[in-house]
Every structure is written in structure tokens, then in C-alpha cells.
């Protein structure tokens, strides 16, 4: 009798486990179907069938935005219509994106996917994207693979600056970003927006517009590392943006933070006094992080 009851109990447990597995499988399929449906153009925010493909829009690294008053060049067709200002909300956004890091990635592939980029409207801002860097070539390839198409769909006139710290001394993210700000302006003094991004963070929704706002902007609201939640109210790390005037007002990032962490909290709690940080909706501000071990010579700052 005891064996019979035990057998019945085990049978019920097995059935329950199978039902849970089936339910999990159905939920996963629904999520993937939702993402792929957006890519096929069935999502209300979708106008593109290839969210990570190349599209004829504006935004090569280092490209210059044409002036609204610029005259046509000699080789420009007389019948060619002048470019109109880009819309406030770009029409080609696709919404949530499927981000994965399992496919092999090479710089040759990135170059092949972005052979030529032309403007089809006058961008509202000129954006310099600054990436503090050391020994992260693998991450950089994925970042470029995903961000080039996103930025082009967002109609951004952008330049990408990789600020590499030479040698093996303790890493200083904030100082690298200050260097990047100055070097970008040497390259083109017309930059009016600066976005400071870690190389291992990829936005999961192209409606998270990489542009500057009236207030400092924090783009990386929810990371998979933190369960897609803001880890704490004063978090300003990962990806943030400041206009040229905002950056000059706070006199840049603090140079004293050596090692991982601290400089973004300093900015939020001290430097931005009198300014209010703006953020996208948590459903739009999601980011995926490329998993990696702790970098050498970038131990957490004990202070």
C-alpha cells in the first residue's frame, strides 16, 4: 500500500514538472515571437524589417552634419531637393531588439554591414559618443555591430571616440571621458551633445534615443545584470549624456577616482546639484551587458 501511494505521488510530481516545463517553453516562445514580430514589422512601433541591417540614413562616425543654409555643391543635381529637418520622433524605429552575443563577430563584418551611410534629413544634434577603453576589442565589435544601425535609425549625426588607456596602471574611467570630450571638440567644435558609454552595454530598444535633453540624461535605466531595475535612485552609470553646456557647467568628470566605481555617483550627488536627471521609461531603457570577468587593474574603488 505504501509503495502504491509512493508511486502515485511520484507520478503526480512528474506530471507537475512536465507541466511547468511546458509552461516555461510556451512563455519563452511567446516572448521570442513578440520580438521577432516587431522585426517583421507587425509591432505598432515598427517600420523596418531588419532592425540590425543597414538603412540609408545619416550617421557615419565622424561625419559632419550639413548646415541648413548650405548651398548645393557643384556636382549636386539641380533638381535634388534640399534636406528637411529630421522629425522629433524618427519614423524608422523598431522598438525592442533581440540582442545576443553568441554569433561570431569581427571588425570586417561590422565594416561590411556599414559600407556607406548617407543623410536623408538634417539631424537635430551633433553627437559625440565617448567610450573609455582598455583590452575590450571583443566587446567593441559587438557594440559597433548593434549601435551603428540603431544610431542611423535614430537619425543621429554622430562620431564615435574610443579613448584607450595605455599601459597597465589602475584604470580611470572619468579622466578618459574628460580626455574624450576635449579631443572630440578638437576634431569638430560643432559637437553639442556628448554621450558617455561603457563598451559592454547594448541598448535593447532603439526608442531609447541617443540625444541630449534639457536636463542631464541617464540612458541605462535597467540592465539585465540588475534584473532590469535601477539598482538605486542615484545611479548614473553605464550610459549617460550631457550637452556641451551641461558638461562645462559641472567642469567635467572628477579626475580623482581610480579603479571601478564612484565617479558617476559623485556626478549625480555633487556636480549635478541644481539639475534634475531625466531617464527614459524603464521598458525602453533596458540594456544588455556582455558578461566578462573583472578587469585587471580596475578593482572596485574602496572609497
Query: What count of other Cβ atoms lies within 10 Å of the Cβ of residue 94?
Result: 25
Residue among 189, 281, 292, 295 flagged as catalytic: 292
The span from the CA of 65 to the CA of 45, in Å, is 27
Residue among 260, 265, 266, 283 flagged as catalytic: 260
Residue among 200, 207, 217, 279 flagged as catalytic: 200
Residue among 198, 211, 218, 286 flagged as catalytic: 198
Burial letters 48-87, b for 16+ CB under 10 A, else e: beebbeeeebbbbbebebeeeeeeeeeeeeeeeeebeebe
Establish whether 256 is a catalytic residue. no
Is 114:151 a contact under the CB 8 Å cutoff?
no
Establish whether 263 is a catalytic residue. yes
Residue among 264, 279, 286, 288 flagged as catalytic: 264
> How big is the chain, counted in residues?
303
Burial letters 252-279, b for 16+ CB under 10 A, else e: bbbeebbbeebbbebbbeebbeeeebeb
Establish whether 120 is a catalytic residue. no
**Residue 99: phi, psi to the nearest 5?**
-110, 125
Q: Which of 121, 29, 128, 135 is nearest to 83 (CA)?
A: 121
Establish whether 289 is a catalytic residue. yes
Q: Hunting for cell 571616440 — which residue is that?
A: 161
Establish whether 260 is a catalytic residue. yes
- What is the sign, positive or negative, of the torsion defined by CA atoms of 156, 157, 161, 162? positive
Q: Which residues, listed in sequence order, are joined to residue 217 by a DSSP beta bridge?
A: 241, 278
3 state DSSP class of 2: helix
Is 126:164 a contact under the CB 8 Å cutoff?
no
Residue among 204, 263, 279, 288 flagged as catalytic: 263
Establish whether 286 is a catalytic residue. no
Pairing of β 126-133 and β 217-218: unpaired
209 sits in which H/E element: none
Active-site positions read 198, 200, 260, 263-264, 289, 292, 294
Amino acid at each position: 500500500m505504501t509503495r502504491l501511494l509512493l508511486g502515485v505521488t511520484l507520478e503526480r510530481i512528474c506530471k507537475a514538472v512536465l507541466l511547468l516545463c511546458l509552461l516555461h517553453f510556451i512563455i519563452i516562445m511567446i516572448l521570442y515571437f513578440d520580438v521577432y514580430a516587431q522585426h517583421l514589422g507587425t509591432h505598432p512601433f515598427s517600420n523596418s524589417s531588419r532592425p540590425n541591417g543597414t538603412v540609408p540614413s545619416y550617421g557615419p562616425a565622424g561625419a559632419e552634419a550639413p548646415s541648413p543654409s548650405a548651398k548645393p555643391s557643384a556636382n549636386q543635381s539641380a533638381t535634388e531637393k534640399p534636406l528637411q529637418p529630421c522629425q522629433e520622433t524618427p519614423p524608422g524605429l523598431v522598438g525592442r531588439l533581440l540582442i545576443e552575443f553568441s554569433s561570431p563577430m569581427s571588425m570586417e563584418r561590422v565594416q561590411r554591414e556599414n559600407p556607406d551611410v548617407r543623410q536623408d534629413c538634417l539631424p537635430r544634434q551633433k553627437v559625440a559618443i565617448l567610450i573609455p577603453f582598455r583590452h575590450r576589442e571583443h566587446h567593441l565589435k559587438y557594440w559597433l555591430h548593434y549601435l551603428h544601425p540603431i544610431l542611423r535609425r535614430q537619425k543621429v549625426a554622430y562620431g564615435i571616440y574610443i579613448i584607450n588607456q595605455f599601459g597597465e596602471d589602475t584604470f580611470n574611467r572619468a579622466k578618459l571621458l574628460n580626455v574624450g570630450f576635449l579631443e572630440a571638440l578638437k576634431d569638430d567644435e560643432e559637437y553639442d551633445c556628448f554621450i558617455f558609454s561603457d563598451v559592454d552595454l547594448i541598448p535593447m530598444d532603439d526608442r531609447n534615443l541617443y540625444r541630449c535633453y534639457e536636463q542631464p540624461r541617464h540612458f541605462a535605466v535597467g540592465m539585465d545584470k540588475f534584473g532590469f531595475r535601477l539598482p538605486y535612485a542615484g545611479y548614473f552609470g553605464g550610459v549617460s549624456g550631457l550637452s556641451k553646456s551641461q558638461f562645462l557647467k559641472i567642469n567635467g568628470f572628477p579626475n580623482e577616482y581610480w579603479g571601478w566605481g564612484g565617479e558617476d555617483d559623485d556626478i549625480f550627488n555633487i556636480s549635478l546639484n541644481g539639475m534634475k536627471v531625466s531617464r527614459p521609461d524603464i521598458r525602453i531603457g533596458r540594456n544588455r551587458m556582455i558578461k566578462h570577468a573583472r578587469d585587471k587593474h580596475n578593482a572596485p574603488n574602496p572609497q
